[in-house]
Amino acid sequence: MFVFCKKIFFLIFISLMILGGCNSDSKHNNSDGNITKNKTIEVYVDRATLPTIQQMTQIINENSNNKKLISWSRYPINDETLLESINGSFFKNRPELIKSLDSMILTNEIKKVIINGNTLWAVDVVNIIKSIEALGKKTEIELNFYDDGSAEYVRLYDFSRLPESEQEYKISLSKDNIQSSINGTQPFDNSIENIYGFSQLYPTTYHMLRADIFETNLPLTSLKRVISNNIKQMKWDYFTTFNSQQKNKFYNFTGFNPEKIKEQYKASPHENFIFIGTNSGTATAEQQIDILTEAKKPDSPIITNSIQGLDLFFKGHPSATYNQQIIDAHNMIEIYNKIPFEALIMTDALPDAVGGMGSSVFFSLPNTVENKFIFYKSDTDIENNALIQVMIELNIVNRNDVKLISDLQ
């Protein structure tokens, strides 16, 4: 009891420091009147890119007055004016965010916390819930999960290959597994049945990259029964309704403005093609140059979807050291490699077609963009590669358009 009281006094002290603007480790908007007024706090956490892009557009679209606590690993927000415009505070790490959230709950009449997180990294959400529940304030909790990318679908594919009885057994344990992790009696295991099992405990929405996974021939009936009423297809068309102010806010969030790329697309009447590059761990510069050479042939027996006559753009891997060599070999236009494809999708700055080295990028693309071809390392077992197989199941790519580098030899 003494230890608990010490924690309470410590959190109240931290809260007073934060509200007074004395926390130097985070970017805080000190206008906290809306915390008490609305009695709802929104939390946004992510270690990746796709959930962050989705959360950004949600914040802009909803334009709520609720206090927002944000920790995005790949998109730190240092613009105080931007934070003030959304009633937000940014935290460099999740533990600092949790400290601030706890102290706000203790010192304000907070009725509800809406947590937005990464499905694959559901452990981050568990840690936030655990801290809230430990305060004993009976705060209402609502959850929104956003897919990390293709990883969830590789796991769903692997899960679908288990016998139905084993699937059902694992699912039957998931509610207690999650509750035990929240109670602190066992660590959280991010198995597929656990990360998609939160709706058994809290109001939960899963924003899925490909919600149609449950409409394929993959045997996922048992899991579908658990979450079917809690699924939403991710939205990519926010920009069709955003006004100029909302669009500019997104550009400020991401540091990306698509106008230059769109102008490059329009520079010629030809259709546009982006080649997705990789690093030396998968293919050499010469091998990628050879793939493009083959793809330009109008009658290649290997790459039947020719890119002859298309304007060529190149998006290299951020860690590759030879991107310029590939660009120069085929006189391509470079798209800065650190611009996430998700930003191109959200801002409707996509080409007519893509192709290149195997990447989760292909998983995110809408069906309005043609997938010309995808190449993998020579030793890839296509028939037993979960990512390739689930992409085929979802009609992201045709089996005949999946190639190995060795096919060129």
277 has binding-site annotation: yes
Find out whether 358 is annotated in a ligand binding site: no
3-state secondary structure labels for all residues of 338-358:
CCCHHHHHHCCCCCCEEEEEC
| Residue 377 marked in a binding site | no
What does each C-alpha distance from 107 to 8, 10, 18, 25, 103 come to in angstroms? 10, 12, 12, 21, 6
The answer on whether 198 is annotated among ligand-binding residues is no
Query: What span, in angstroms and rounded, lies between the C-alpha atoms of 167 and 344?
Result: 37
Alpha carbon distance 252, 267 (integer Å): 26
Count CB neighbours of 46 within 10 A. Answer: 26
Confirm whether residue 317 is marked as ligand binding: yes
Q: Is 31 annotated as a binding residue?
A: no
d(CA 105, CA 41): 9
Is 315 labeled as ligand-binding?
A: yes
- 153: tokens are 């679908």
Q: Exposure string (b/e) for 267-278, b if CB count within 10 Å is 16 or more?
A: eeeeebbbbbbb
CB 60 within 8 A of CB 68: no
CA atoms within 13 A on the CB side of 275: 29
Residue 174 is assigned to a ligand binding site:
no
Residue 341, marked binder: yes
- DSSP assignment, residue 308? T
The H helix count followed by the E strand count for the chain is 17, 14
Round to whole Å and give the CA distance between 132 and 115. Answer: 11
- Please state the residue numbers annotated as binding site: 268, 270, 277, 311, 315, 317, 341-342, 359-360
- Please state the residue numbers annotated as binding site for Zn(2+): 268, 270, 311
- Please state the residue numbers annotated as binding site for CMP: 277, 315, 317, 341-342, 359-360
